[in-house]
Amino acid sequence: MKTLIFATNNSHKLQEVNTMLDGLVTVRSLKEMGLDGDIPETADTLEGNALQKATWVWERCHQDCFADDTGLEVEALGGRPGVYSARYAGEHCSFDDNVNKMLREMEGQSNRKACFRTVVCLIEQGVPRYFEGRVDGQILTERYGEQGFGYDPIFMPDRFAVSFAEMPLEVKNRISHRGRAIAQLVEYLKQQY
Ligand code: IMP
């Protein structure tokens, strides 16, 4: 089975992606590869950051790898925080800080439309290829649920009455931004064999 290194230190992402790629490729984490250190994410687009993260791994291992980058785009905030979603509340902020800031900024706002967008960059033999996924929904007025990570407790996808943090992982994976981008990666990989 083909092995791909996933350029992330986020254990939630690793679990989500492992579930989707199970049986098709062996996914190795950075930790398993003995790679540590902060991967740079200094581009101003999701594509740029995904490429930067995957390239960081490629340059160190010369093994096929992929990385993802996600942005939460909120209509009433003019698309913010977008590519800056991880550092929305400041340089070394926590998921909680970001959620608190979002709840504050959206206080009293009636337009709560938002979307998550993910770009996955796969590097095979040094050549990058991109896959994209998107999910539309609403920013909730308070936190709901304990599962997942990041903005999950305050994001409710369209056609659902619960937040991402209230969903079983299989349901989130089926409809989420990253789930949809990874589904495209799966389709591509299946065509390869
Ligand atoms: P990253 O660049 O993909 O690590 O994600 C940027 C920001 O979006 C981080 O603060 C993450 O917490 C958040 N994020 C990414 N994916 C998700 C998700 O599936 N649910 C909630 N928040 C997410």
CA 71 – ligand 1 centroid, Å: 7
Q: Whose Cα sits closest to atom 10 in ligand 1? A: 86
- For the residues 161-175, what does the mean pLDDT come to? 96
pLDDT single digits (tens) 82-123: 999 999 999 999 999 999 999 999 999 999 999 999 999 999
Q: Shortest CA distance to 179 belongs to which of 157, 146, 154?
A: 157
User: Does residue 98 or residue 1 have the better pLDDT?
Assistant: 98
How many Cβ atoms sit within 10 Å of the Cβ of residue 145? 16
pLDDT single digits (tens) 70-84: 999 999 999 999 999
CA 116 – ligand 1 centroid, Å: 9
In whole numbers, what is the pLDDT of the chain averaged over residues? 96
User: Does residue 142 or residue 10 have the better pLDDT?
Assistant: 142
Q: What is the pLDDT of residue 75?
A: 98
Q: Which atom of ligand 1 has the smallest separation from the CA of 98?
A: 10
Q: What is the pLDDT of residue 192?
A: 84
Looking at the chain, how many residues does it have?
193
**pLDDT band at residue 61 under the 50/70/90 scheme:** very high
Q: Shortest CA distance to 151 belongs to which of 132, 160, 169, 138?
A: 138
Q: What is the pLDDT of residue 9?
A: 87
CA 20 – ligand 1 centroid, Å: 18
- For the residues 147-173, what does the mean pLDDT come to? 97
Q: What is the pLDDT of residue 38?
A: 83
- Candidate list 64, 68, 69, 152, residue with the active-site label: 69
Q: What is the pLDDT of residue 150?
A: 98
Q: Shortest CA distance to 150 belongs to which of 77, 36, 91, 72?
A: 72
Query: With 90 as the cut, is the pLDDT of residue 37 above it?
Result: no
69 is catalytic: yes
Q: What is the pLDDT of residue 193?
A: 65
Q: Which residues line ligand 1 (CB under 6 A)?
A: 68-70, 72, 85-86, 95, 98, 148-152, 164, 176, 178
CA distances 155 to 48, 97, 113, 149, Å, are 25, 15, 10, 11
Substitution candidate for ligand 1 out of 70, 136, 171 with most atoms within 8 A of CB: 70
